[in-house]
Structure 1
Amino acid sequence: MAIRILSDRKLVVLGASLLSATTIVMFSLHAAETRQPLSAGQHETRTPNNASVPGVVPEQATHAKYTGDPKSSQEAGSTTAPAVQPTDGRTPESKPGAAAQQGNSGAVKATKQVALTFDDGPDSKYTPMVLDILKQYEVKATFFVVGRQVVNHPDVLKRIHDEGHSIGNHSWDHANLTKLSPNQIQKEIKSTDEAIEKVIGSYSPMVRAPYGAVNASIKRNLTSAGRELVNWTVDTKDWTGAASADMVELARKRTKNGGIILMHSFGGKNGKLDNTIEALPLMIEALKQDGYAFVTVPELGVKKE
């Protein structure tokens, strides 16, 4: 009888053990069933350690191309590393022309020089616009001015001078000097010198003949009078109303070290120079990207006939 009771107790204990084990197994199965399975195409991922580090962006190749737009000038003609994003979400400020300081090695060093020149001004419309662009890009240029325009717009001439640009003589009324007598030529030049001096206190020995028209006699007379006859090496054809893109392409193709580029700040086809204003910043960006530094004609060394 005692043996049977003992056996019954063992059975009770054994039954309890089996019940406990069954409960554990069922609990485990229930826990497994409550975990949501991943849907098709879904992957379990881990966040990289550097994902939360400010300023770190995923590595990617950026192939920038010059677009001709100054606002996107930092993309001009270079392959650059991805920009580091600012931690406060703001876009860093940059100066115009910064593209010329960037490249595969981090900088494009200006190893060549070129002089921008503007003829026929000053006026109250286009010359101030040219000056605004030059100031924006921190470029100095040379203005060959017409005497009668100086008299009509002395304040603009003064601004040209005050902003550090060079000023040369372009005759009194844009006359073709080859069709004038020596006395008439002298009057054209002297009257313009006096108009310039009245505004800024001095005048330069530089003279550019209208239309680039000179002959041996004119060269000899100007040289003997201590004047420096300045021509150009690249004519942008802006006076013909050429498209801005064509001007930029022509300048990039023909400009060489020590070159002088001809543009205008007054006149033009039908009195319009809108394409010049559009082309100027694009040309500055392009030539900077090509390794050119902009200087005045006196800084360049006068190009003599």
Structure 2
Amino acid sequence: MTADRRTVLRTAARLAALTAAGGLLTACGSGSPRRADPGTLAVHPGTVDPQHTTDPAWNGGEGPASAEPTAPAEPQPTAAAAAATQPTAPPTPPVLPPLAAGTPVEVVNGPRTGKNVALTFHGAGDPKLATALLEAAEQRGAKVTVMVVGSWLDQQPQMARRILDGGHELGNHTQNHLNISAMNPDQARAEIAQCADRLQRLTGSIGRWFRPSAAQYATQMVRDQARAVGYEHVLSFDVDPRDYNDPTAAELQRRVLASVRGGSVVALHMGHQCTVDALPGILDGLAKAGLKPVTASQLCA
């Protein structure tokens, strides 16, 4: 006779004896008698049910094996969360060449005896156009200066590093590009300071140059407010090809190349397709004329 059959027979014998004694069974752990439900097969705690012999939670019919209570595990921070809690190092400010002695407070052009010119861009508009323009300049080894609008940096903060990482220069063109000449001193200073704050936070520097918005030249009041914020120099321009009117690329090239000469500061705009399309031809024309596009600081160094 097999062990399983002997176990079943012993179980049946115990059941018969208990039934004869009044049908009383003891619930596991209760200590109080109860009557067996008809048709229910109760397994005594000491009897091993073969189907549980491989179950590590089975404890001879007495329920799961007891274990010492353990404290819940400390949640481990993810790598991203850990990185977010680490202090962020301030950005490294760009290194600028010292300006030549006698550089005026308001620069309209650089030395006329040299072959350098500065292509400057109003920094705003579609970032895809801005990136395409920077790439066109970099493909020909040209460096440009972007006079950035602070509200644009609020929308496109990544463009600040993109400009500097390409070897270009950043300057301040006010926070909202309003008519700064019509403001009172406090309003003008706030427009300059807000853009300076964005530049400082994103690049580690407010930049060297300030350019007034909606004006070619700065009034004395605007110059004073720019100096109060930290700008010793205002950057104007002597060549304005009016690309903001969206001429054809050929017309824009003609306007620039007909007016530019050594020392010129050219005012152009990001965010205009005509400027992106015209830039390669402008750079080729400057090269034929022996002129080299450099940053505003390099022009005045």
TM-score range relative to shorter protein: 0.5 to 0.7
Distance 1:123 1:187 in 2: 25
* CA distance in structure 2 between the aligned counterparts of 1:123 and 1:299, rounded to whole angstroms: 27
Partner of 1:169: 172
Is 1:280 the counterpart of 2:285? The answer is no
Cα deviation per residue 1:33-59 (whole Å; 9 max; x = unaligned)?
xxxxxxxxxxxxxxxxxxxxxxxxxxx
- Matched residue SS, 1:184: helix
Q: Give the deviation of 1:205 after TM superposition.
A: 2.9
Alignment correspondent of 1:233: 238
The 1:145–1:234 alpha-carbon spacing in structure 2 relative to 1, beyond 3 Å, is same
Structure 1 residues 123 and 202 mapped into 2: Cα distance closer, same or farther (>3 Å)?
farther
What CA distance in whole angstroms lies between the structure 2 residues aligned with 1:140 and 1:262? 14
**Do residues 256 (structure 1) and 255 (structure 2) align?**
no
- TM-score (structure 1 length as normaliser): 0.58
- 2-side partners of 1:142 and 1:194: how far apart? 19
Distance in 2, Cα, partners of 1:254 & 1:183: 37
Alignment match, 1:183: 186
How many Å separate the matches in 2 of 1:276 and 1:221?
32
8 Å Cα contact 2:122/2:268 also seen in 1: yes
Decide whether the 8 Å contact of 1:241 with 1:275 is kept in 2: yes
Structure 2: segments with no counterpart, 5+ residues: 1-113
- State the Cα distance separating 1:188 from its structure 2 match: 0.7
After superposition, the C-alpha distances for 1:138-174 in whole angstroms (9 at most, x for unaligned) are 1110000000101111112111011111000000010
1:87-102 to structure 2, matched below 5 A, reads none
Mind listing any 5+ residue stretches in structure 1 that lack a counterpart? 1-110, 267-272
C-alpha spacing 1:199/1:221, structure 2 compared with 1 (3 Å):
closer
Matched, 1:206 2:203: no
Give the counterpart of 2:145 among 127, 142, 145: 142
Greater per-residue helix proportion: 1
For residue 268 of structure 2, give the secondary structure of its aligned residue in structure 1: strand
Q: Assess if the C-alpha contact under 8 Å between 1:123 and 1:153 holds in 2.
A: no
Change in 2 beyond 3 A, CA 1:223/1:156: closer
Indicate which of 119, 122, 127 corresponds to 1:124: 127
Instruction: Please state whether the residue corresponding to 2:279 is helix, strand or coil.
Output: helix
Rg bigger for which structure? 2
Could you say what secondary structure the match of 2:247 adopts? coil
Instruction: Give the CA deviation at 1:249.
Output: 1.3
CA RMSD after TM alignment: 1.9
The 1:300–1:146 alpha-carbon spacing in structure 2 relative to 1, beyond 3 Å, is: same
2:161 corresponds, among 158, 163, 166, to 158
> What is the aligned partner in structure 2 of residue 222 from structure 1?
226
Deviations 1:114-160 (A, max 9, x none): 01111032642211111110111111100000001011111121110
Report the count of equivalent residues.
187
Name segments (4+ residues, structure 1) moved above 3 Å: 223-226
With over 3 angstroms needed to count, the CA separation of the structure-2 counterparts of 1:144 and 1:288, relative to structure 1, is same
Residue number in structure 1 paired with 2:117: 114
- Structure 1 pair 150/122, CA: closer, same or farther in 2 (3 Å)? farther
